[in-house]
């Protein structure tokens, strides 16, 4: 039940009804049987709805959304092993809107499918452009469990790569929602299909939130990305160093590639190398860059390592 609360006498009957419906929707989303209307919450919902409308418009007009690329570095050779494509949104009025603001809203709607398609299509275009210039580098994209749960998703993704004459190994899939994956047989089947077709699968942010090594064998993964929350402390905290060392050792014994995220200083890089970590990603090497900036940076680093 949604309660509009004590109402100003100047409010119209339609506005009172709208407030009651707003409270009802909030109660349903929170699993509560009774919810009273709240001004602040209603204002936030209006803002969220407006933001979703603007994301839809940005997709339809192909304006404002763009991808940046952050390199992944081998701790053995020092060379670039790939990149992660990250979505950005330059809002026409509000400037840069962080992904953490709009993506969680989009994920709750059917708009997520459109946004995922946009990211995939633009990543493939960039892969093709780099290929034509002799830069053959794997790029990973972030997907929600709802994406690869769709029975037709794997076939669609493979067909897009075939149409672009690209090897599926050049496109990686990064996933985060471990609990949702374990609760969804369709998601696990979808990931397994992607892996069988040659796409590389990464588990993102391992070590934060719901992280349990026991579930790893249930999920078809190639790469485990250690979260910055545990990586950032290895240089100064002995207990953190011991934990990370044991995690890396165990993951490598299970034949995973181990990548550390959020690496920001040389000492952390050196420690991770000695602990047996395979790859790193972070501001110490490079921030996320536009395609042109990434290409220039890549060739400069490649030349310096010769």
Tell me the per-residue pLDDT of 127-144, one tens digit each, with 9 for 90 and over.
999 999 999 999 999 999
Tell me: do 120 and 18 sit in the same domain. Answer: no
What distance in Å separates the CA atoms of residue 83 and residue 256, rounded to the nearest whole number?
Answer: 18
In this structure, the answer to whether residues 58 and 68 fall within a common structural domain is no
Task: Tell me, yes or no, whether 146 and 46 share the same domain.
Answer: no
Pair 25, 71 in one domain:
no
Interval 211-233: pLDDT, tens: 566 678 788 899 999 999 989 99
CATH number at residue 269: 3.20.20.450
Extract the tokens encoding 134: 């002799």
Q: Identify whether residues 234 and 143 lie together within a single domain.
A: yes
- For residue 2, being part of any structural domain is answered with no
DSSP 41-110: HHHHHHHHHHHHHHHHHHHHHT-SEEEEEEEEEETTT--EEEEEEEEEEEETTTEEEPHHHHHHHHHTST
The answer on 121 and 15 residing in a single domain is: no
Question: Could you tell me if 175 and 204 are in contact, meaning their C-beta atoms sit under 8 angstroms apart?
Answer: yes
Can you give the pLDDT at residue 177? 67
Check whether residue 166 and residue 292 sit in a common domain: yes
Segments of 186-304 assigned E as strands: 200-206, 223-226, 257-260, 279-280
Q: What range defines the domain where residue 54 resides?
A: 7-29+37-63
Q: Are residues 23 and 168 in the same domain?
A: no
Number of separate domains in the chain: 2
Read off the pLDDT band of 3 (50, 70, 90).
very low
Q: Are residues 45 and 179 in the same domain?
A: no
Q: Residue 276 falls within a domain, yes or no?
A: yes
């Amino acid at each position: 039940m949604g309660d509009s609360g004590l109402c100003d006498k100047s409010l119209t009957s339609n506005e009172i009804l709208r407030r009651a419906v707003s409270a009802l929707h909030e109660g349903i989303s929170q699993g509560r049987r009774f919810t009273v209307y709240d001004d602040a919450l209603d204002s936030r919902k209006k803002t969220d709805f407006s933001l979703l409308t603007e994301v839809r418009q940005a997709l339809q007009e192909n304006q404002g959304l763009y991808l940046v690329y952050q390199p992944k570095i081998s701790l053995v050779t020092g060379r670039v092993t790939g990149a992660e494509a990250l979505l950005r949104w330059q809002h026409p009025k509000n400037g840069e809107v962080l992904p953490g603001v709009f993506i969680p809203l989009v994920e709750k709607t059917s708009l997520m499918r459109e946004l995922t398609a946009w990211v995939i299509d633009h990543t493939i275009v960039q892969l093709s452009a780099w290929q034509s210039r002799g830069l053959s580098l794997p790029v990973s994209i972030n997907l929600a469990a709802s994406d690869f749960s769709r029975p037709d998703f794997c076939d669609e993704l493979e067909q897009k790569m075939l149409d672009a004459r690209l090897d599926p190994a050049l496109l990686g899939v990064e996933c985060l929602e471990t609990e949702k994956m374990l609760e969804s047989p369709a998601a696990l089947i979808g990931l397994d299909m992607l892996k069988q077709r040659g796409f590389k699968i990464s588990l993102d942010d391992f070590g934060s939130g719901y992280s349990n090594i026991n579930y790893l064998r249930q999920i078809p993964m190639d790469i485990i990305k250690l979260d910055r929350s545990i990586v950032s402390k290895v240089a100064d905290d002995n207990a953190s160093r011991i934990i990370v060392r044991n995690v890396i050792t165990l993951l490598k014994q299970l034949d995973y590639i181990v990548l550390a995220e959020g690496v920001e200083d040389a000492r952390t890089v050196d420690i991770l190398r000695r602990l047996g970590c395979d790859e790193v990603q972070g501001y110490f090497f490079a921030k996320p860059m536009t395609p042109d900036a990434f290409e220039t940076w890549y060739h400069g680093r490649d030349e310096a390592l010769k």
